[in-house]
Structure 1
Amino acid sequence: MTEEFPLAPDLCHLNHAAVGPWPRRTAEVVAQFARENSRQGSLGYPQWLGVEQRLRERLARLIAADSADDIALAKNTSEALSIIAQGLTWEPGDNIIGIRQEFPSNRIVWESLADRGVEWRALDLEASTDPEGDLIARCDARTRMIAISWVQYASGLRLDLKRIGAFCQDKGVLFCVDAIQGLGALPFDLASTQADFVVADGHKWMLGPEGVALLYVRPELRDQLSLHQFGWHMVEHCGDFDRTDWAPAASARRFECGSPNLLGVHALEASLSLLEEVGMDQVRERLQARVDHLIRLIDARGFDLLTPRELERRAGILTFRVPGVASDHLYAELMARRVLCAHRGGGIRFSPHFYTPMEVLDRAMGVVDAVIHG
């Protein structure tokens, strides 16, 4: 698998929770797309649209959706969440249940509804030993939605979506899942989670580019989201430019107002082809082996593990702290020594992927040793 990731040999890439590298096939597809465009213009546009359709099909399979028609392509997670938040009809007194430690995209979008009288109720994960139960306990008769990330971006905590989804289904509460830190790292099953909305950008664990994101809306809810962006691409009879009457597309394309990002589409479709070839069960097993290895290395050094140890509570993120060492200083030194990581949640966040060589993990921890003992 290393042939698909020709990363510089002196680089320890442990930052898939931020921006992942492209596989070789993705870089080649993008280069070919650029060459074709520069030589033939848009002559191949019908074939480009075929790639777009294949991407929708791959994304549908990735989350186990019923149809590619259920998949919209947004620009990013923030746009996808905004389509949901601004599309639903809210009443003063409604509330949304979320998490205080969320990435800003999954906080600001709900806080923006305050001027409509909608309350965002945030659970403090640091004060919770049962996050699912505490999220559920915050619900009342005016709760319209639980909106959470599948995997927390800083701590790496993975939530039990099945438990939350079952509660929401039983109580008639909408369930919105930001899956950006899980899709591409772990298998996802839409039926068992019972999510009404799933969003995720492609540039992290899916190994694609920035600028293309998944937006899933349960088909029964599609026409309940009011539209705030309009254009030629979101209408039912897309391509019939002389037609004067129009209606939003019945499919999820109704959420895509204008021209698609076909460069990004080609890249993400190629990256997902690799994940499908490997198989998401294999991706999960290989990634878990690497996270397990990192945990052993961290424990052997007496560092503080900030990510849950339980297998069912983590995905690909591992955050740790070195006692007596400022994490911001350690982060700066690691980056200067080409250990690509992140400073999150008061610690150092490592996020390998399924293909990351074990020796890269050993070498990265060796660099940590050199910094703190240096």
Structure 2
Amino acid sequence: MHPEFPHKDIIHLNHAAVGPWPRRTAEAVEAFARENLHYGSRGYGRWLETIAATRELARQLIGAPEAEDVAFVKNTSEALSMVAFGLPWQPGQNIVIPEGEFPSNRVVWHAAAQRYDLEVREVAIGEEPELDLLRACDQATALVSASAVRYDSGLRMDVQFLGNELHGRGILFCVDAIQHLGALPFDAPGCRADFVMADAHKWMLAPEGIGLFYVNPEVRDRLQLNEYGWHMLEHAGDFDNPALTPSPGARRFEPGSPNMLGIQALHGSLSLLLETGMDRVDEEIREHWLHLEDRLRGLGCEILSARHRRAGILTFRPSAGLLGDTPLETVYHRLQADGILCAMRGGGIRFSPHFYHETADLDRAVEGLREALPGG
């Protein structure tokens, strides 16, 4: 058992939904609560130092040039909305997205299209999803938005290839990285991303209600602001200053008081990932994926995720012979009841292991699946 994850009676294979907190994150939240209980905001200056330190950790995780290129947001949807309703659209432009994206990466573009007289092109993707998206682009394409890793199948997009191709065509590139950040290394400038956003409650192992938002400094001024408050001003904290100039950095996207509790927690979680090293995290997750694939195939399951496109998500479906007349949902509920945390997505059951698991955990999960099947 990993010392940071002393789980009781569960095998947590649901990091693509809501991940668990590491021990250090829970301890940081407990310490922050105790400090508030006994000393109130006496240490507020130190809390501000934690914000700066966490922003630096976020910079390292996302590969941003400067810490001030990363904003803290409530969630991915908020950041996507800032892009969708902040860009200076022109009537007749189009936005290209893959078919079957998570609803957050669909609803904002359709809402913007209705308001600004745009077209949303939802593109069926196949074996070469990047080329499918590029073929759908034309002279009127203003932006392509795609998940770096699909939430259902776990398909990993080649964001570096796609981003460089889009940059050469003068098309903005928006990356929903919620299933990527915390599981694989990421290089925002290297993939020519203009906008990157992700909640921290999945692979980043932090609470819900806090997320990251990167905006390419070269396009930052093109994104019009729709939310305002004291914290987004250049002279935040200098309340007597009459200037109302937005911060030149990404803090301009943080209108009001920060989520201080969430940032305390995020600092703990990001520190663990970066101390471990994202290359090692990636390697461990991919090895866990291969081990699960081998065991699930041996049990008689169809693997719905592509090995050569793998990230952290493995979606599978037991064969008809294994299921018989039992609905897949019944098997899923049996797994949950037995403490094997997973999800139903993309027509199958989705396992999403993290770096800290041991092989024995994965084997117990597969054995639990066997027992959850009819006749098990």
* Shift in Å, 1:327: 2.2
* Shift in Å, 1:293: 0.4
* Counterpart position of 2:334: 333
Matches within 5 A, 1:155-304: 155-304=153-302
RMSD: 1.0
Secondary structure, counterpart of 2:366 in structure 1 = helix
Secondary structure, counterpart of 1:147 in structure 2 = strand
* Counterpart position of 1:40: 39
* Shift in Å, 1:33: 0.3
* Shift in Å, 1:189: 1.3
With 321-330 and 232-241 compared, the bigger mean Cα shift is at: 321-330
For 2:210 and 2:362, how far apart are their aligned partners in 1? 30
Secondary structure, counterpart of 1:121 in structure 2 = strand
Q: Which runs of 5+ in 2 are unaligned?
A: none
Secondary structure, counterpart of 2:152 in structure 1 = coil
For 1:7 and 1:332, how far apart are their aligned partners in 2? 20
Compute the TM-score of the two structures, normalised by the length of structure 1: 0.97
Q: Deviations over 1:183-235 (max 9, x none)?
A: 11111112321111110111111111111111001112111111111111111
* Counterpart position of 1:55: 54
Amino acid of the structure 1 residue aligned with 2:268: A
Secondary structure, counterpart of 2:3 in structure 1 = helix
Equivalent residue pairs, number:
369
Amino acid of the structure 1 residue aligned with 2:31: Q
* Shift in Å, 1:160: 0.6
Secondary structure, counterpart of 2:281 in structure 1 = helix
For 2:329 and 2:118, how far apart are their aligned partners in 1? 37
Is 1:134–2:132 an aligned residue pair? Answer: yes
Work out which of the residue numbers 144, 147, 151 in structure 2 matches 1:146: 144
* Counterpart position of 2:318: 322
For 2:258 and 2:189, how far apart are their aligned partners in 1? 28
For 2:225 and 2:282, how far apart are their aligned partners in 1? 37
With 189-198 and 22-31 compared, the bigger mean Cα shift is at: 189-198
Compute the TM-score of the two structures, normalised by the length of structure 2: 0.96
* Counterpart position of 2:355: 354
For 1:19 and 1:43, how far apart are their aligned partners in 2? 33
* Shift in Å, 1:91: 1.4
For 1:328 and 1:118, how far apart are their aligned partners in 2? 39
Secondary structure, counterpart of 1:356 in structure 2 = coil
* Shift in Å, 1:272: 0.6
* Shift in Å, 1:360: 1.3
Secondary structure, counterpart of 2:204 in structure 1 = coil
* Shift in Å, 1:302: 2.1
* Shift in Å, 1:364: 1.0
Q: Deviations over 1:215-261 (max 9, x none)?
A: 00111211111111111111111111122231111111001100000
* Counterpart position of 1:19: 18
Amino acid of the structure 1 residue aligned with 2:243: D
For 2:62 and 2:228, how far apart are their aligned partners in 1? 27
For 1:352 and 1:333, how far apart are their aligned partners in 2? 19
For 1:333 and 1:119, how far apart are their aligned partners in 2? 44
For 1:333 and 1:93, how far apart are their aligned partners in 2? 50
Amino acid of the structure 2 residue aligned with 1:201: D
Amino acid of the structure 1 residue aligned with 2:259: N
Is 1:3–2:3 an aligned residue pair? Answer: yes
For 1:166 and 1:114, how far apart are their aligned partners in 2? 25
The answer as to whether partners of 1:148 and 1:176 remain within 8 angstroms in 2 is yes
Seq. identity, %:
53
For 1:154 and 1:300, how far apart are their aligned partners in 2? 22
Q: Deviations over 1:3-27 (max 9, x none)?
A: 110110x211100000111000110
For 2:84 and 2:113, how far apart are their aligned partners in 1? 12
The answer as to whether partners of 1:113 and 1:119 remain within 8 angstroms in 2 is no
For 2:44 and 2:187, how far apart are their aligned partners in 1? 33
The answer as to whether partners of 2:124 and 2:132 remain within 8 angstroms in 1 is no
For 2:59 and 2:22, how far apart are their aligned partners in 1? 21
User: Which of structure 1's runs of 4+ aligned residues deviate more than 3 A?
Assistant: none
Is 1:123–2:123 an aligned residue pair? Answer: yes
Is 1:94–2:93 an aligned residue pair? Answer: yes
Secondary structure, counterpart of 1:177 in structure 2 = strand
